[in-house]
Amino acid sequence: MHIELTEMLRCPEPHREEMLVLSTGEVKDRMVRSGILGCPVCHKEYPISRGIVNFRRSHARVSKDESGPRPAYAPPSPLPSADAASLQALLELSGPGGYVVLVGAAVRQAARLAALMHGIHFVGINAPGDMEEQPSLSLLYASEKVPLRTAVARGVVVGADLATSPWLVEAHRVLLRGRRFVVENEEPELPIGLIQLAAENGLWVGEKR
Ligand SMILES: [Zn+2]
């Protein structure tokens, strides 16, 4: 996790938003490889290991030790993968700076989007298991709540695997007003209040009013 992302994070518990307290272990090139994020409100602690912050509730926590042997070969996602250039166009992002949130299988777009959009930092939520963090990509694990403060993202892309109502509510919450979010599914399970701009070529596009 990029060290500067700390100020954008929030505890996923349902209480007021307050900045988390970072205790760093190993830090390399401004990426926190290990450490702990503590919540000053409810005092929960979230570990950072191999650069990935784990906000999952303890029963849903994925531990390398408990998950058993990993398959030697992970098949590629069967879901259609959107073209990074069309994603960039739909997000209407120009100019560097800020954060773009990618959820689920959409995290696979990070490297291609980063090549098109310099100076933007990507936040990957529940990335496919074989992915590693990059200088332009921080990875977080979460349970149905994006652990980011409200209205901090310049854009959000939700992968087809997580195009369900709770994640779309969260995608909408973390987005800045007037900004776009794209779902890799033309007919996502939409919560009330989300406004559609377009749905074509397997992508659904909305805007936060
Ligand atoms: Zn808390």
Tell me phi and psi for residue 46, to 5 degrees. Answer: -125, 120
Ligand 1 centroid–CA 38 distance in Å is 8
User: Which residues are 141's β-sheet partners?
Assistant: 54
What does the pLDDT read at residue 74?
A: 47
Ligand 1 centroid–CA 171 distance in Å is 20
Specify the pTM.
0.89
Same-domain status, 48 and 102: no
pLDDT tens, position by position, 141-173:
999 899 999 999 999 999 999 999 999 999 999
Same-domain status, 88 and 146: yes
Mean pLDDT in residue range 16-22: 96
Q: Is residue 12 part of a domain?
A: yes
Q: Chain centroid to CA 71: how far? A: 24
**What does each C-alpha distance from 147 to 10, 119, 124, 157, 205 come to in angstroms?**
5, 22, 11, 16, 22
Ligand 1 centroid–CA 74 distance in Å is 34
Same-domain status, 110 and 19: no
pLDDT tens, position by position, 47-87:
999 999 999 976 554 544 444 444 455 444 444 557 888 89
Same-domain status, 90 and 148: yes
Average pLDDT score, the chain: 88
Same-domain status, 49 and 105: no
Across the beta sheet with 175-183, what order do the strands follow?
21-24, 35-38, 45-49, 52-54, 137-141, 121-125, 99-103, 153-158, 175-183, 203-207, 196-200
Ligand 1 centroid–CA 92 distance in Å is 34
Mean pLDDT check: name the lowest of 20-29, 72-81, 124-133: 72-81
Residue 36 has pLDDT above 70, yes or no: yes
Q: Is residue 66 part of a domain?
A: no
Residue 127: pLDDT band by 50, 70, 90 thresholds?
A: very high
Nearest to 185 by CA among 207, 171, 202, 172: 202
Ligand 1 centroid–CA 11 distance in Å is 5
Ligand 1 centroid–CA 80 distance in Å is 36
The residue ranking higher by pLDDT, 14 or 94, is 14
Ligand 1 centroid–CA 20 distance in Å is 8
Ligand 1 centroid–CA 205 distance in Å is 32
Ligand 1 centroid–CA 176 distance in Å is 23
Ligand 1 centroid–CA 77 distance in Å is 34
Ligand 1 centroid–CA 187 distance in Å is 34
Mean pLDDT check: name the lowest of 42-56, 84-98, 189-203: 189-203
